[in-house]
Amino acid sequence: MEATGAPSLEVQDVHVQFEGVKAIDGVDLTLGAGEILGLIGPNGAGKTTLVNVVSGYQEPTDGEVLLGATRVTAWSPQRLARAGLVRTFQAVRLFANLTVLENVEVAAIAGGLKPAAARVRAFDLLDAFDLADRADALAGSLPLGEERLLGIARALGAAPRFVLLDEPAAGLDEHESDLLVERLTAIRERHACALLVIEHDMRLIMRLCHRIQVLDSGRTISIGTPEQVRSDPAVRDAYLGADRRAPHAEG
């Protein structure tokens, strides 16, 4: 959880409108240092739009994003990465013609490490994700589960303080999802970074996260521990109204 005096990532009263349609309508969010926060909601709730704002891919109509005391609203993704905030995407964006090791090395060098130190960090991350034996394989040859792990390892290459993960378990089976929970928990502890996780796999979210924030129609409808959110009638209504399934059953 958050360390005393450590900076947090804060979203303050963010609004996003697309041609008059309110995609985000006054959302606040706080991610403390070392925390794992889940961001969930029915399809179209505004989750990805909010993460796009936080990660510099979407300028808000109104509101602020802060890293510690620094206003970072509308900073470019590259500038945010240098400041310690990175993200992954639903579609894994690897350098297919580079090796697994080189994919992580490139990120570490971009984060400011010398080549020798970048290689050490890359091997360390590959080992943490059980990818060390694939170091010399081309990234484009990996199966989906390993692609997703490599995408996360690469995001961690620059030693960020905050990592935004957009559906990291998409396409994984139950066993792979369980392993992902273990690896993300270990990475958070080992590398002292906070995680914001968008995910439809409620089994993973409930096991992984310290807190969960629920969006519906661009607004926050619930924030709390997994048990508090699971039992919140507003959350059940949002999911049942959206697709006739309870949140624990969403896949």
- Range in 5-14, 51-60, 69-78, 218-227 with the lowest mean pLDDT: 5-14
121 and 218 inside one domain: no
- Range in 13-22, 31-40, 188-197 with the lowest mean pLDDT: 188-197
* Residue 199 dihedral angles phi and psi, to the nearest 5°: -160, 145
148 and 167 inside one domain: no
State the CATH number of the domain containing residue 223: 3.40.50.300
pLDDT tens per residue across span 97-135: 999 999 999 999 988 889 999 999 999 999 989 999 999
pLDDT at 170: 87
76 and 175 inside one domain: yes
Nearest Cα to Cα of residue 61 among 102, 93, 87, 26:
26
Domain count, the chain: 2
51 and 173 inside one domain: yes
151 and 165 inside one domain: no
Give the Cα separation of 46 and 216 in Å (integer): 7
Share of the chain above pLDDT 70, in %: 93
Domain around 134: 93-159
pLDDT at 216: 96
Complete edge-to-edge strand list for the sheet that includes strand 62-67: 21-31, 9-18, 62-67, 70-71
75 and 171 inside one domain: yes
Q: Where are the beta strands (DSSP E) in 144-250?
A: 162-166, 194-198, 211-216, 219-224
148 and 183 inside one domain: no
| pLDDT (mean) for 139-150 | 92
Give residue for tokens 């297919």. Answer: 96
pLDDT tens per residue across span 36-91: 999 999 999 999 999 999 999 999 999 999 999 999 999 999 999 989 999 998 88
Of the residues 107, 135, 159, the one at which a domain ends:
159
- Find how far residue 246's CA is from the centre of its chain: 23
Residue pair 182/12 in contact by the 8 Å Cβ criterion: no
206 and 241 inside one domain: yes
| pLDDT (mean) for 25-33 | 97
pLDDT at 4: 42
